[in-house]
Amino acid sequence: MKDLTQLDPVALRTLATAVRLGTFEAAAKELHVTPSAVSQRIKALETRVGRVLVHRTKPLEATDAGHVLVRLAAQTEMLEREAYAELVDDPDEEATEDAPWTAVPLAVNTDALYDWFVEAMVRVRQRHRVTFEILREDQTRTAERLRRGEVMAAITSDPRPVPGCTVERLGAMRYVAVAVPEFMTEHLAEGPTPAALERAPMVAFDRDDTLQHDFLRKVTRRHLAPPTTWIPSVHQFDHAVRRGIGWGMLVETDVRADVRAGRLVEIVPGRHVDVPLYWQRWRLESPVMADLTAAVTTEARSWLGR
């Protein structure tokens, strides 16, 4: 087995940049070198590790081995930036204003982002010079982003740890199926029978959103395909349900008061879907990641415990 110690950090950063941007040419422009230099660095890295690291297609696609090194490159860059920040962590030094910002890419499901995740970011920004890139993804798919090295942490419904990551349970988001009273009168007057639910219009977030279909299978034990309107916006999804376009699954804490007041009605009273959420992050000794984890778990447990 080849000795993989002392990998060239410049080559690692080049690989990560090329995979992120999709072409040698784009990577060369960002790194201020020629496309040939980018290709040579990646080739030398492949020779060093004895593995093909990228599929040379357009856009470039990392191999499984390539994803491992892309993740290593991002981890190395984060540790370098944090070390620099510690060295200039003196309010009397002019260098503090020029200290680099640590960039942290994260994969977060839409409802967590809408309801509570921003507060966790605020907590971390109060203590660190950090920016975030949020990749919005369904909680069933965020772990794959982590596995591919595209993000440093993710909120996921998968409790199985991605290699190199730690997992903490955050709690569960409870969703209830609701509609406005007028919708119930028009479409479900005889009750939520399988035949009625097959015909009643439904709202879903996007084609990765299975919550509504999961609920239908849970209450009918059938695979139903009602007419569906797709609205990939939390605010507009909520608005569409409240305007009677269809029924949809909304976070229970967001609609509790409206259900009590009769402005919204549960289409199958007492039935719900609980989606467990986990925080997975790189197993990396980093002050930023440690504080982010503390902030995420605090905000999540506060919100989900309501």
Taking only the tens place, the pLDDT of each residue in 92-127 is 555 456 667 888 999 999 999 998 999 999 999 998
State the chain's mean pLDDT as an integer.
Answer: 89
The alpha carbon of residue 175 and the mean position of all alpha carbons in its chain are separated, in whole angstroms, by 19
Is a pLDDT exceeding 80 seen at residue 84? Answer: no
Q: Could you tell me the pLDDT band of residue 242, with boundaries at 50, 70 and 90? A: very high
pLDDT confidence of residue 176: 97
d(CA 126, CA 242) in angstroms, rounded, equals: 37
> Regarding the domain delimited by 101-306, which CATH topology (the fold level of the hierarchy) does it fall under?
D-Maltodextrin-Binding Protein; domain 2 (3.40.190)
Q: Which residue has the higher pLDDT, 250 or 79?
A: 250
Q: Which CATH class is domain 1-100?
A: mainly alpha
Is a pLDDT exceeding 60 seen at residue 258? Answer: yes
DSSP 101: P
Is a pLDDT exceeding 70 seen at residue 38? Answer: yes
Kind and range of the H or E run holding 5: none
Q: Which residue has the higher pLDDT, 98 or 167?
A: 167
Cα-based angle 244, 249, 252 (whole degrees, multiple of 5) = 110
CA distances from 105 to 74, 122, 180 (A): 10, 15, 38
Q: Residue ranges of the domains in the chain?
A: 1-100, 101-306
Report pTM: 0.78
pLDDT confidence of residue 1: 45
pLDDT confidence of residue 304: 85
pLDDT in tens, 46-65: 988 888 899 988 888 888 88
Q: Which residue has the higher pLDDT, 140 or 179?
A: 179
SS3 49: helix
Residue 275's closest CA among 157, 147, 169?
157
Question: Which range (54-68, 169-183, 192-206, 220-234) has the least confidence?
Answer: 54-68
Q: Which residue has the higher pLDDT, 196 or 86?
A: 196
pLDDT confidence of residue 154: 96
Q: Mean pLDDT across the stretch 209-230?
A: 95
Q: Could you tell me the pLDDT band of residue 4, with boundaries at 50, 70 and 90? A: low
d(CA 103, CA 280) in angstroms, rounded, equals: 18
